[in-house]
Chains A and B, each alone.
Chain A
Amino acid sequence: MGFKEYVGKRTLHGIVTIMLAVTLNFILFRIMPGDPTRAVSGDPRVDTATRLALIAKFGLDRPLIEQFVLYVYNLLRGEMGISFVQIGRPVIDIILGRKMINTIILMGSSMFIALFLGIVFGVIAAWRRGTKTDISLIVVSLATYSMPVFWFGMMLLLVFSYYINIFPIAGTITPGIVHANFFEYAKDYLNHLMAPMITLGVSFFGGYFLFMRDTILDVFTEDYMLTARAKGLSNRKILFKHAMRNALLPMVSLMGVHVTFLISGATMTETVFSWDGLGRLIYDSVRNNDYPVLQGIFLFMAVLVVVANILADIVNAYLDPRIKEAVE
């Protein structure tokens, strides 16, 4: 089987999974209690005639099966519908815009930092197993791992944005000003990015660290590690060439699965720091029962998870010659 076929097959599996996800989230959101027109009309004071008109407008008075058929039909035509709440705005515009970029930047940077630190410190802790370094790293990582993201974010906000006042309190950019050039803009953006990035990075760090440390310890028991030591290689080479490369294989698979956790972490962080991303869109849409947007985000997320897993498999195949050969 060629590599292309392999990817093709994985993609097919992915599509089936996405189909399932789409169906489930259609059904679940409608079975759950909550009436979007409450949120749409904004205030319970809006009169009954208005509410009835809106219910009819969104087709919510039709049988569920009819709504579903319509939804699938529209989806196949590439239409994800119009937001109930931000009336008139196509869901696709809301999702695939600035919000997505903000989230990708936040998630990407914090994940990169967490991954980098998690791997490096994981390797170091495993190498110095049982020493003070190891134990203090474990304590720190367990603390960050079990710390609620929301709480930690609030603490950062209080300390760095309120008392010390070095980070802005909210948003992705200073509101209401026009930046002189892209450099200024980027500086402003980065300044806003720091606090949420640290929050999310710290909250991810613990998990990656512990996983890496465990995997490396496993790898240490392998015969080839004994060979590497017998060869009198430097510690750096033993750790980062021989141990880490093998330990990265399960790590990559973990990353594929981890995407969902990233999103939930992002939801919390984006809410605390008013970071205008998909996470906060989820939060707002859930609160307002904005089904079309939620369906859109979940579709997006399903695609993201599936793609992440396919990517993880491909990267694994690249890293691990055994899989690569099996694939080819």
Chain B
Amino acid sequence: MPVIEVRDLVTHYLTAQGSVDAVSGLNFTVEKGQTFGLAGESGCGKTTAALSIMGLLPSNGRIMGGQIIIDGEDLLQKTEAELKKIRWSKVSIVFQGAMNALNPVLNVGEQILEVILEKEDVTKSEALDRVRELFRLVEIEPSRIIDYPHEFSGGMRQRVMIAMALANYPKLVIADEPITALDVIVQNQILELMKDLQRKLDLSQILITHDLSVIAETCDKVGIMYAGKLVEYGEAGPIFKTPLHPYTSALIGAYPSIVGEKKKLNFIPGSPPNLIDPPRGCRFHPRCPYTKEICSQEEPEYREEEPGHYAACHYVEELRDTLRLGD
């Protein structure tokens, strides 16, 4: 049984200008011990997807349809009180830039401690022991649990966040751009730590990032989002080797590989569409180098093109060879 299964998730934001279709039809599953990478440019709906799963959408966000199934239960059918219990004990989240994600006036130990005490029936000293253990796990001196967030460096803070995310030993951790704000060396350390922890704790992860190279490093499965829609989904290997969607291909070309050889960087001309009034047909067609007339008329079907490898493009077959990347 997968740890989480998301089916046809549709999330809109209601604004004065109209409804923003931030996520329209998201499907994925994450198996135990796996890492699922969700990639796409800023504003493509990745973070909205994460907030939808956590039930933390801002007040104007509405989940219009779909299912989010964790442990066989659909979160969207739950009451707020039930969700409160599920949060952090079953699924936790590491936010982008732990700089502001930690409360500046409480010491970090307290912030971890409170969630343990809130969710579990343990004594304070047991909980405190666990906080120390978590600190050791993320390789921070346990004595620093009484320090305040501002006394940590950026990387250390992210470690604290990770320790906090693991506080109730959840099965699933969502990491929303966990390393974006960090410098390169620290990024690597954090990624290594996350991989390490995943192995040790048999964790499932959803890694949300705009940086495909990170996904290439860490993920078992990948979903590529564009303008609120999943355009390609499948195992990491095939996607990076034989992307079936022009956007995926362009995205892969837009990032340097951390380990791979130097390549000429492509960049994708234009900018993501306004989701209040998305383009007709394929949402990527205004920026797609291979666009044809049909692309602006009909929306491409999201199909399983190869076993376990899904894509949404009118010209999968025609472009298959064009998009294949050299290894």
Contact = CB atoms under 8 A, between A and B. Distances in A.
B94 to A, nearest CB: 9
Given A224-B102, A232-B89, A322-B104, 8 more contacts: A223-B95, A227-B95, A232-B119, A233-B84, A234-B118, A246-B104, A319-B105, A321-B107
A328 interface: no
Given A233-B115, A234-B84, A234-B118, A322 B148 contact: yes
Could you say which of A232, A242, A246 has the most chain B C-beta atoms within 10 Å of its C-beta? A232
A30 interface: no
B97 interface: yes
B135 to A, nearest CB: 17
Interface string A210-250: 00000000000011101111111110010001100110010
Contact of A223 (B83, B87, B92, B100): B100
B89 A230 contact: no
19 contacts: A129-B59, A223-B97, A223-B100, A223-B101, A224-B104, A226-B95, A227-B101, A228-B103, A231-B118, A232-B84, A232-B88, A233-B84, A233-B114, A234-B84, A237-B118, A241-B114, A321-B104, A321-B105, A322-B148
Contacts of B87: 230-232
B314 interface: no
B307 to A, nearest CB: 36
Contacts of A233: 84, 114-115, 118
A242 B103 contact: yes
A184 interface: no
B118 A245 contact: no
B6 interface: no
B204 to A, nearest CB: 17
Contacts of A222: 100
Given A232-B89, A322-B150, A325-B151, A224 B103 contact: yes
A313 B49 CA distance: 43
Given A223-B97, A320-B104, A321-B105, A229 B150 contact: no
Could you say which of A222, A224, A226, A231 has the most chain B C-beta atoms within 10 Å of its C-beta? A231
Contacts of A229: 56
